[in-house]
A = this chain, B = another copy of it.
Amino acid sequence: MKTIITIGRQYGSGGREIGEKLATDLNIPFYDSKLLEIAAKESGISQEFFESNDEKPVNSLLYILSTTYTDDNLPFNHRLFLAQFDAVKKVASEGSCVIVGRCADYALRDNPDCINIFIHAEIEKRKKRSVEQYGIPEKRAHETVIRYDKQRASYYNFYTCKKWGNADNYDLVIDSGKLGTEKCVELIKKYIDLKQAD
């Protein structure tokens, strides 16, 4: 049985670290920015463009205009999204994996093996983490956390027509600030065991 885990996460919640640790424990591949490389390779779009547009919201005016475009001249953000969307489906078709971000839950919405997880934490804990773990200057921590969350929400809401962080979208949601990242990994492993048991 395949184990496909998608993880959405608030900025600074440790969702990426949880995903990495989980993938290591389960001995399966982990994807986040790696997907960009795959998408770049498959689409022929330069990887630099992916990196500079990663999970950034699309310009909705451009999107509207895009409806009259052919595949070859779709607005650039939209082409990047579609290339990532295909990359998510490709790696999931290849076997068990953990995928962080990139609307992977939506790309794999018809895949019965998929377990969709969201990790959040209260903002003060995320600010602290962004300073200590990601090296964000303390005076910019609040603004950084808010800005990244807005970007992720905007990107997700635009492409999926669902609401980022709404409990309804996910099989499992955990507050990592209350439980700690190590224990989140343990709880997710328990979830997988229960889900896959007869």
Contacts and interface: CB of A to CB of B under 8 A. Distances in A.
Interface of A: 118, 120, 165-168, 170-175, 178-179, 183, 186-187, 190-191, 194-195, 197
5 contacts: A118-B167, A167-B167, A170-B175, A172-B173, A183-B197
Contact of A168 (B120, B179, B183, B186): B120
Contacts of A175: 170-172
A120 B170 CA distance: 9
Copies of this chain present: 2
A178 B167 CA distance: 13
Nearest to A122: B168
A186 B179 contact: no
Contact of A183 (B118, B165, B167, B194): B194
A95 to B, nearest CB: 21
A186 B197 CA distance: 12
Contacts of A174: 171-173
B179 A195 contact: yes
Nearest to A112: B178
A170 to B, nearest CB: 7
Nearest to A165: B167
Contacts of A194: 179, 183, 186-187
A171 B187 CA distance: 12
A170 B167 contact: yes
Contacts of A179: 171, 191, 194-195
